[in-house]
Amino acid sequence: MSASLRELRGSVAVAGVAIFGCGEAHGYTEMEVLARAAHGAVADAGLKLTDIDGLCTASVGATMWPMPVAEYLGIRPTFINGTMLGGSSFVAHLLSALLALQAHQCNAVLVCYGSTQRTAQFGRKEVEAGRKFVDPQPYEHPYAPMLPLSAYALAASRHMHQYGTTRRHLAEVAVAARAWAAKNPEAFMRDALTIEDVLDSRMISDPLTVRDACLVTDGGGAYVLVRAERARELPKKAVYVLGNGTALWHRQISSMPDLTVTAATQSGRAAYQMAGMTAKDIDVVQLYDAFTINTLLFLEDLGFCRKGEAGAFVENGGIAPGGRLPVNTNGGGLSCTHPGMYGVFTMIEAVRQLRGECGERQVAGARTAIAHGNGGTLSSQSTAILGTDDVL
Amino acid sequence: MNQPKTDKSSGGVQAAYHALLASGRFMIQRCADCRRPVFYPREVCPHCGGIRLEWTQPCGEGTVYAVTTVRRKADAGGAYNVSLIDLDEGVRLMSRVEGLAVDDVRTGQRVRARVVVSNGVGLVVFDPLDSKGPTT
């Protein structure tokens, strides 16, 4: 970590956030969902789309996605980042946007995403089928793993073998997410869920059941970044970017060196160093929970507990409302929303918590938050640390 | 040390690997510079960046590193195993363990590679080694 990144701690802030069409967005295209989320975030920041001169975006399907987005929104960005690392992308875009803002390459960056994978004619199944041709994995596909789920199932199996983690521990993660979702009127699944419900649900790829897997929803999300001094003049309470780090260790699960240790160890270390913080300093935690094992791995790799001890950490409602650590307070990808890539929603919920906008699920006095994105098959990891002006 | 043709006329190492598999031979690579084993086949060594990768025949034995069972419906062919196998040479690959009920495949199990050739396409699968333990 260079001294200069540390000096940039808190130099940029999130000024606006919005979601749109989460759940089912019948009759909408993914661009329309994205555009409504983008407009909402810009309005939340007290700005207009014509003020936006930086654009970060990525799509599950379109490889040249910044082009149609810029065209559709009518912006001519001087800073563009279309880096596609899977679901972590919208956290990973943060540091490059911060640097561009500090260099005055641009003045207001829009990070945005939209998907209609649940309701679209060309949805998740079609994208997955097409991926075998445009993104071949010739040393895995012949064995027909159910990707991405089977990759996470392999990681879960190894964690169970190595550390005695149980299916009940995994179920605790799903139940905690549902309990938070019950407090969030925007969450997609809010009905009661018990450990037994999860254990008895349909097995997809052992040890992961349908209730260990994220939702398949539509939805868009966006946030707006400006330099800190400008954020203080805008209507909403500024939420400062204290640190961000991104790491990428593999693409295919068979190339992951140790299935119980993710690149979040590296991204987290970089983010903590930039922020000058450790896990003990974090009040509220948003982790990309594509599958229940993710939450356990990231709790360990981001330092909230020791390696192998996340199962015990989440026992007895450890990360549920009223537990030892508030994790995925919107209900997460498991119960709130998961439109193909969830990373942007970890940022949005972290910002809302730090603004104190979360109603029944608000974590009292939250001043610091982690938003952690995951992409591919535990492949890319990006960690952001955000804070209020109390911790600048 | 076998050294199949890797000149331009034979294409890249992925094509060479699959041609070897189709002839019933399972080969991995070893870097002539850093001496480390490499799988999957690459044109450059992911350990040292070198380009002198040679084909080498693994002993064929390995250990199951992680296991899952894909619960495909019975009318679509039923459940099947997907495993990650650590070869004794020190590389890992995705494969499946055959010759055991899917629920009996265990992490830590010793296995031996076998090449199945079907319609001109080779595939590496693994069979359990004798439960008495690995051969010397």
A141, part of any domain: no
Say yes or no to pLDDT of A235 above 90: yes
Provide, as residue numbers in chain A, all residues whose Cβ is less than 8 Å from the Cβ of B83: 154
**Which residue, among A12, A34, A14, A13, has the nearest Cα to A22 in the 3D structure?**
A34
At residue B9, the pLDDT reads: 55
| DSSP sequence for A1-60 | --HHHHHTTTSEEEEEEEEEEEE--TT--HHHHHHHHHHHHHHHTT--GGG--EEEE--S
Q: Dump pLDDT digits (tens) for A75-112.
A: 999 999 999 999 999 999 999 999 999 999 999 999 99
Mean pLDDT of A345-371: 98
- Cα separation values, B58 from A223, A301, B83, B87, B111, Å: 51, 34, 18, 8, 13
Nearest CA in chain B to A155: B66
Q: Do A154 and B95 touch (CB under 8 A)?
A: no
Q: Do B94 and A259 touch (CB under 8 A)?
A: no
Tell me if A193 sits within 8 A of A211, measured CB to CB.
yes
Q: Do A206 and B84 touch (CB under 8 A)?
A: no
- Beta bridge partners of residue A284, listed in sequence order: A369
Burial class (CB in 10 A: 0-12, 13-18, 19+), B103: exposed
Q: Which helix (H) or strand (E) holds A67?
A: helix A66-73
Q: For chain A, how many structural domains are there in total?
A: 1
Q: pLDDT category, B4, cuts 50, 70, 90? A: low
The three-class DSSP label of residue A71 is helix
φ/ψ (deg, to 5) at B20: -65, -45
Tell me if B30 sits within 8 A of B53, measured CB to CB.
yes
Mean pLDDT (chain A) is 96
Q: Which domain holds residue A129?
A: 1-136+146-392
Mean pLDDT of A56-64: 93
Q: Dump pLDDT digits (tens) for B6-59.
A: 455 569 999 999 999 999 999 999 999 999 999 999 999 999 999 999 999 999
Report the distance separating Cα A132 and Cα A152, nearest Å: 19
Q: Which amino acid is at A339?
A: P
Mean pLDDT of A209-214: 98
A48, part of any domain: yes
Burial A257-287 (b: 16+ CB within 10 A, else e): eebbbbbbbbbbbbbbbbbebeeebbbbbbb
A150, part of any domain: yes
Q: Does A201 touch chain B (CB under 8 A)?
A: no
Q: Locate A42 and state its tokens.
A: 């810009």
Provide, as residue numbers in chain A, all residues whose Cβ is less than 8 Å from the Cβ of B93: 139, 254
A166, part of any domain: yes
Looking at residue A1, which CATH number applies to its domain? 3.40.47.10
Q: Dump pLDDT digits (tens) for B8-17.
A: 556 999 999 9
Residue listed under structure tokens 């983010």: A271
Provide, as residue numbers in chain B, all residues whose Cβ is less than 8 Å from the Cβ of A207: 68
Mean pLDDT of A275-289: 98
**What is the ipTM score, two decimals?**
0.95
Q: Dump pLDDT digits (tens) for A105-129.
A: 999 999 999 999 999 877 677 777 8
Q: Please, which residues have CB within 8 angstroms of residue B33's CB and are 6 or more apart in sequence? A: B45, B48, B50, B52
To the nearest whole Å, the CA of B93 is away from the closest chain A CA by 6
Report the distance separating Cα B47 and Cα A148, nearest Å: 26
Q: Please, which residues have CB within 8 angstroms of residue B104's CB and are 6 or more apart in sequence? A: none
Mean pLDDT of A51-74: 96
Q: Indicate the range of A119-128, A233-242, A317-326 predicted with least confidence.
A: A119-128
Q: Do A157 and B96 touch (CB under 8 A)?
A: no
Q: Please, which residues have CB within 8 angstroms of residue A283's CB and are 6 or more apart in sequence? A: A326, A363, A365, A366, A367, A368, A369
**Which residue, among A350, A338, A336, has the nearest Cα to A374 in the 3D structure?**
A338
At residue B135, the pLDDT reads: 44
